[in-house]
A = this chain, B = another copy of it.
Amino acid sequence: MATERPSLGLTERLQAALKERGQRWTEQRQIIVEVLAASDGHATGAELVERVREQDPSATPSTVYRTLDLLEELGLARHHHGPDGRETYHLEETVEHAHLHCRGCGAEQEMDAVVAAPILKAIATATGFSADLDHLSLHGLCRRCAAARGPSTPRAKAGE
């Protein structure tokens, strides 16, 4: 029966993983996972807290953050830090990618894992360091902003 459900299991996987570790399935966690899944793409910690509180006003930030940490431990979610140091979360299902943040126009660009692979390899060769792709967040100028500033102005002040 119902073998057709497409992405079956997010909740079920979580329940199973928790049980295995002697941890508990609670309504708060249900809500937080739902919110995260609904926040397709990325969402900051503060945004997630707010959305969870819409569903359940009794939820507190500490619970939300602790649950997000738990989801990371279980490998179901990941987070990285934006250019201002704030946290951004997304489900692990998302395709792996690095984040490129332009300090000129503020745009967020992604770099696919396939594109990034040789670059990570180059870093490893040069330094022995194996970088995490997904936790990688670069700051700089996108093609357009770089062009706009001319090739002779590699660095200029910008808010941030």
Q: A residues engaging B (CB < 8 A)?
A: 72-73, 75, 81, 83-87, 100, 102-103, 109, 111, 115-116, 118-119, 122-123, 126-132, 135-143, 146, 154-155, 157
Contacts and interface: CB of A to CB of B under 8 A. Distances in A.
Contacts of A73: 157
A109 B87 contact: no
8 tightest Cβ-Cβ pairs between the two chains A and B: A128-B143, A131-B140, A85-B85, A81-B85, A135-B139, A131-B138, A132-B140, A130-B146
Nearest to A120: B140
Count the copies. Answer: 2
A132 B115 CA distance: 19
A130 B72 CA distance: 30
A50 to B, nearest CB: 19
Contacts of A143: 127-130
Given A100-B129, A135-B139, 9 more contacts: A109-B129, A118-B122, A123-B138, A128-B142, A129-B143, A130-B140, A132-B138, A132-B139, A132-B141
24 contacts: A72-B157, A75-B157, A81-B85, A83-B135, A85-B87, A100-B129, A100-B131, A111-B123, A115-B127, A119-B119, A119-B123, A122-B122, A128-B143, A128-B146, A129-B140, A129-B142, A129-B143, A129-B146, A130-B140, A130-B143, A131-B139, A131-B140, A132-B141, A136-B139
Do most interface residues of chain A lie in helix, strand or loop, or is the interface mixed? mixed
